[in-house]
């Protein structure tokens, strides 16, 4: 009965079982991110599942908030204090890493269903929005990427979330580093889950070209994006919620680098009419000091986007982009500059 094959299998099974137990126990005890105790404020070295943690904090208090900011990791820069200063509304920032329109729709549906009734929602748009409608290239270390409104329909989603947290390689690695050399590792993100505000603590240097390498023209995801935005607008109108569109102040070459975004803006123009943006001739859009990295702008730019003086008709934004694009095309025709490389970032915004 107990031949060497049997002993081999038994050893592997017991090894996995007891090691797993040890890992789960130690991750639970160390719990560097205070997930099991108090995750209101979190100083993290990696991006963690901000969806679940924000949702957990937001859901019991959702009726307190008069405004909600949706969007990607870029949108977390629209701090709730800025919203209060400019609009006098108590806001929650629900910006999460790599957010999609579908994610916004699902969250809004949940909010309506649970009678939370904010007066205003802010939807920041990105010039490269159409690139990020899918999530197949998400980095694997971000735990459990499903949107909470989707996973709460699963029985015991919290247990799934906590189990994946205590039994995962990134958590184990992070906790081990915490035990042995924590002080060596710089903190990269500070979360405040009570308001949803986030601070980034990195600062990369990079060059901003005045013009994009190439004006892209990719129709992918356009139809899908418009359909979801129409649905969001329909739900908001029905519930008496105002929508404020924000045009994220990305580096200028990003803002004008896509032909299809013009079509996208043209299609949403009749739906929303207005958008807040920083004028494209603003020098800060070419200055990397106003950015954490190529994908993430700083608070000072975000604050200015919210200014009422920066609210314009969408058709004017289209005009600004078009003018800038043609200036770039003319410049290229006249002096044929060398082709500058575009820096790729494997992490989506």
Contact residues toward another protein (CB under 8 A) are 3-9, 11-12, 15-16, 19-20, 23, 131, 136-145, 164, 167-170, 172, 204, 206-207, 213-214, 216-218, 220, 258, 293-294, 338-346
CA–CA separation, 201 and 318 (whole Å): 33
Least distance from another protein to the Cβ atom of residue 58, Å:
23
Q: Minimal distance in Å, beta carbon 293 to another protein?
A: 7
To the nearest whole angstrom, how small is the minimum distance from the Cβ of residue 344 to another protein? 5
Q: Which of 90, 166, 100 is nearest to 130 (CA)?
A: 100
Burial class of residue 282 in the structure, from the number of CB atoms within 10 Å of its CB (0-12 exposed, 13-18 middle, 19+ buried) = middle
Of 327 and 343, the one with the shorter C-beta distance to another protein is 343
CB of 296 to another protein, least distance (A): 12
CA distances from 289 to 68, 206, 297 (A): 28, 9, 9
Shorter beta-carbon distance to another protein: residue 16 or 316: 16
Rounded-to-integer distance, Cα 227 and Cα 98, Å: 19
Give least dist CB 91 to another protein, A: 31
CA distance 102 to 47: 21
Kindly tell me the sign of the dihedral angle through the C-alpha atoms of 207, 213, 217, 221. Answer: negative
**Separation in Å, CA 14 to CA 21, 22, 23, 246, 327:** 10, 12, 14, 55, 68
Nearer to another protein, 29 or 340 (CB): 340
Closest approach of another protein to the CB of residue 53, in Å: 15
Q: Compare residues 113 and 289 and give the one whose CB is closer to another protein.
A: 289
CA distances from 176 to 29, 32, 180 (A): 12, 10, 6
If the CB atoms of residues 16 and 331 are measured against another protein, the closer one turns out to be 16
Of the pair 136, 180, the CB lying nearest another protein is at 136
126-162 residues labelled b (16+ CB within 10 A) or e (exposed): bbbbbebeeeeeeeeebbbbbbbbebeeeeebeeebb
Q: Which is nearer to another protein, 333 or 339 (CB)?
A: 339
User: Which residue reads 């090894």 in tokens?
Assistant: 15
Tell me if 174 sits within 8 A of 31, measured CB to CB.
Answer: no
Q: Please report how close the Cβ of residue 263 comes to another protein at its closest, in angstroms.
A: 15
């Amino acid at each position: 009965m107990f031949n060497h094959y049997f002993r081999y299998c038994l050893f592997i099974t017991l090894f996995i079982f007891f090691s797993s137990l040890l890992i789960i126990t130690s991750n639970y005890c160390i719990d560097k991110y205070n997930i099991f105790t108090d995750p209101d404020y979190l100083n993290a070295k990696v991006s963690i599942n901000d969806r679940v943690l924000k949702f957990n904090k937001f859901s019991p208090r959702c009726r307190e908030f008069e405004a909600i900011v949706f969007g990607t990791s870029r949108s977390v820069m629209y701090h709730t204090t800025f919203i209060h200063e400019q609009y006098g509304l108590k806001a929650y920032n629900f910006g999460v890493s790599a957010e999609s329109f579908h994610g916004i729709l699902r969250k809004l549906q949940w909010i309506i269903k649970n009678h939370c009734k904010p007066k205003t929602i802010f939807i920041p748009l990105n010039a490269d929005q159409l690139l990020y409608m899918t999530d197949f290239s998400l980095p694997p270390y971000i735990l459990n990427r499903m949107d909470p409104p989707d996973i709460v329909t699963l029985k015991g989603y919290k247990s799934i979330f906590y189990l994946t947290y205590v039994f995962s390689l990134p958590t184990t690695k992070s906790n081990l580093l915490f035990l042995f050399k924590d002080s060596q590792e710089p903190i990269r993100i500070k979360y405040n889950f009570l308001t949803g505000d986030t601070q980034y603590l990195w600062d990369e240097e990079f060059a901003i070209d005045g013009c994009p390498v190439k004006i892209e023209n990719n129709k992918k995801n356009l139809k899908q994006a418009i359909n979801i935005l129409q649905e969001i607008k329909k739900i908001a109108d029905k519930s008496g919620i105002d929508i404020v569109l924000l045009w994220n102040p990305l580096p200028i070459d990003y803002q004008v680098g896509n032909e299809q975004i013009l079509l996208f803006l043209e299609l949403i123009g009749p739906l929303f009419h207005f958008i807040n943006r920083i004028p494209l001739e603003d020098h800060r859009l070419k200055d990397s000091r106003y950015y954490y990295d190529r994908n993430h702008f700083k608070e000072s730019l975000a604050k200015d986007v919210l200014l009422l003086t920066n609210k314009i008709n969408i058709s004017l934004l289209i005009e600004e982009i078009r003018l800038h694009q043609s200036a770039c095309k003319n410049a290229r025709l006249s002096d044929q500059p060398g082709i500058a490389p575009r820096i790729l970032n494997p992490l989506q915004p």
